[in-house]
Amino acid sequence: MRKYDEDRIPISAVKQYIYCRRRFALIFTDREWGSNYKIVEGDLLHSKVNDPFFNEKRGDLHISRSVPVYSEHLNLYGIADIIEFTRSDNGIILPGKKGLWNINPIDYKNGKPEASEADECQLCAIALCLEEMFEMSILKGDLFYGKIKRRVQVDFTDELREKTINSIVEISKMLDQLIIPKKPEGQKCNLCSLADICIPEAFNRKISNKTEILNLLRRE
């Protein structure tokens, strides 16, 4: 893994890597972002929580939005959409707050739960940053899905932590080596904002000309 004083890895890279390694590489190596209606919907949803100056108090619950987080150990940085601080006898001391507090990170997603665990790993990466920053353990967080308009609790199990950390290690290697892999087997591409750049249909074509294949795939 890179040393922490080099360019940090954005937490958003974790989701992209797990969802599709080729998409991740096109975004973070080739700087290709693309756009479609799913991107616009996601931007509109996040606009509701993108206020770093927002703080709300409801008795024993304090809510902060757009909170910067980082990890020196994992070389990560990013933004937590929402962090809930809840007063608890099993919590930690926080500067400027009386009593003990637990931390619950919440990440907003436009769609609905999916099987890849990409969203769960991104939330886990946020939790790992917060654990390092506040020197505490965080057992769970929440994903709010705009499509179903409710939260889904995520438990930060040993398995999820391991998958997240291993992904971060592999992300660092891919960024260092400037690798753009082929499309993963079975990857669904119809809603991807990079479909016109990635050219996923090239993976389903039988072309004998090696030069044409390389041109379609950009690089192997």
Say how many C-beta atoms besides its own lie within 10 A of residue 31's C-beta.
7
> What does the pLDDT read at residue 103?
96
* 48 vs 81: which has the higher pLDDT: 81
* 175 vs 42: which has the higher pLDDT: 175
What percentage of the chain carries pLDDT values higher than 90? Answer: 48
Query: How confident is the model over 92-104, as pLDDT tens digits?
Result: 998 888 899 999 9
Query: How confident is the model over 139-150, as pLDDT tens digits?
Result: 999 999 988 999
Give dist(CA 156, CA 137) in Å, integer. Answer: 10
> What does the pLDDT read at residue 98?
87
How many structural domains compose the chain? Answer: 1
Could you tell me if residue 219 is inside a domain? no
Highest mean pLDDT among 121-135, 175-189, 191-205: 121-135
Question: What is the C-alpha radius of gyration for the chain, rounded to an integer number of angstroms?
Answer: 19
Locate 181 and state its tokens.
Answer: 């892999």
* CB contact at 8 A, 140 and 104: yes
Could you tell me if residue 207 is inside a domain? no
Could you tell me if residue 43 is inside a domain? yes
Could you tell me if residue 208 is inside a domain? no
Q: Looking at residue 58, which CATH number applies to its domain?
A: 3.90.320.10
> What does the pLDDT read at residue 42?
43
Band the pLDDT of 111: cuts 50, 70, 90: confident
Q: Give the residue numbers spanning the domain of 171.
A: 9-188
Could you tell me if residue 204 is inside a domain? no
Could you tell me if residue 176 is inside a domain? yes
Q: What is the mean pLDDT of residues 166-179?
A: 90
> What does the pLDDT read at residue 163?
97
Could you tell me if residue 166 is inside a domain? yes
Could you tell me if residue 194 is inside a domain? no
> What does the pLDDT read at residue 94?
86
From 22, 15, 24, select the one nearest 163 (Cα to Cα).
15
Locate 178 and state its tokens.
Answer: 């400037």
Is the pLDDT at 88 greater than 50? The verdict is yes
Say how many C-beta atoms besides its own lie within 10 A of residue 16's C-beta.
20
Residue 95's φ and ψ, nearest 5 degrees, are -55, 130
Band the pLDDT of 48: cuts 50, 70, 90: low
Considering the entire predicted model, what is its pTM? 0.77
